[in-house]
Chain A
Amino acid sequence: MIWKALRGAFHKGKAMDESKLEFARQFIEAVPHAHALGMHLAAIGDGGATISMPYDLRLVGDPRTGVIHGGAVSALLDTCCGAAVMSHPDAPAGTATIDLRIEYMRAARPGQSITARAECHHITRNVAFVRATAHDEEEGLPVAVAVGTFTVERPKGGAK
C-alpha cells in the first residue's frame, strides 16, 4: 500500500496520545479497502502498529471449512506494516511496499477476528524493514508471519 499525508498524525508531539491515535484511526479507516475489510486500528506509535479485522463470511476462502482466505490476511498485514513504517520516529513523509513475504503457519479459526502486529525494526534513508505477525483469538502460534521492505519518502525540501 502507498501511504502519504499521514505524517502529521504521528509527529506533532512526543508521546502517542489519544487524539493522535484517533486521527490515525480515522485516516486508516477512511481507506476504502481497509473500510471494506472492517479494519480497526488498536494501537500505533514508535514504529509499531496493531490492527484487527473481524471475521466476515464474505472473506471466506474455503466454503467447506469457513476459513478466511489468505489474501484477506495479506491485505491486513500489508496495511499494518505500512502503518508501522509511518509511525517510525524518523517520520517518513510517505511509504510504499517494495516487497512483502507472508508465511501461512496455520488456518485461522472460523468465527474469530484476526489481529496483526507490525514492527518497523530498522529504517535507513531509503528503506524501511518491517516484520509482522497475525493472530486469531487463540494465544500462541500465529496464523501468519510476514517480512517486508518499504520505501521511505522524504519530506520535500527537508534537509533531515
Chain B
Amino acid sequence: MNRPKPEPVQQVKQRRDAALRALVSGVPYIQFLGIQFERRGDELTGLLPFDEKLIGNPLLPALHGGVTAAFLEVTAIIELGWSFLWEDMEARRIDPASLDPLHLPRLPKTIDFTVDYLRSGLPRDAYARARVNRSGRRYASVHVEAWQDNRSRLFAQATGHFLMPEPEANG
C-alpha cells in the first residue's frame, strides 16, 4: 500500500491550536469572563479561572448564577462551533492560518438554554465539558456539565438548543 507520509505532529497540533484560538479569542465576552479552552484531540474542556468579579454573593462567597449560566452557554457554543471547524479543518476545506476574529466560521445561535443549578459555585476554578447530542442541518441539541473540585460532583448542568449558522455564500 502506498500511504502518504504522516504529517509531523507539531504541524498538526499547531494547526488545531490555531483554529481553536481563532474561535475563542475573537469573542470579547469570553475574554471578559476569562474563559479558556483546553484541547485533547477534538475534546475540549472549558476552564473558568476564579476572579473576584465573578462573585454573586459576597457573604458566602459564591459564583454568580449568571456567570455559571454564561460559562455553560459559552462552552456549549464553542463545542458546537468547534465540531464544524474540526471537520472543515481536517478535510482541508479551510486553512486555520486564514482565520481571524472577523473571518471566522459563523457560530451557532442560541434558541433556548436551561440551566439546572445543583449546588452553589465555590470561589475557585470551574470546568465544563459539552456533548453534542444531536447536530442536524438546522438545529442542534447540546448538553453541558460543569464541576469544580470533583468531576463527579457537578455544580450545574444545562441543555440548550441552537440554530445552525447558514452556510456562507462563498465559503
Contacts and interface: CB of A to CB of B under 8 A. Distances in A.
Interface of A: 1-5, 30-36, 57-64, 68-72, 74-79, 82, 96-104, 107
B28 A57 contact: yes
B111 A33 contact: no
A102 B69 CA distance: 10
B99 interface: no
Nearest to A61: B29
Interface of A is mostly: mixed
Contacts of A60: 27-29
Contacts of A78: 64-66, 69
Given A32-B52, A69-B29, A74-B113, 11 more contacts: A2-B60, A4-B57, A31-B55, A31-B57, A33-B55, A33-B56, A61-B29, A71-B73, A71-B74, A74-B115, A75-B69
Given A33-B56, A100-B114, A69 B27 contact: yes
A98 B27 contact: no
A70 B71 CA distance: 11
B58 interface: yes
B154 interface: no
Contacts of B111: 103-104
A18 to B, nearest CB: 25
Contacts of B55: 31-33
Contact of B29 (A32, A58, A64, A102): A58
B88 interface: no
Contact of A97 (B70, B73, B107, B117): B117
A4 B59 contact: yes
Contacts of A99: 114-117
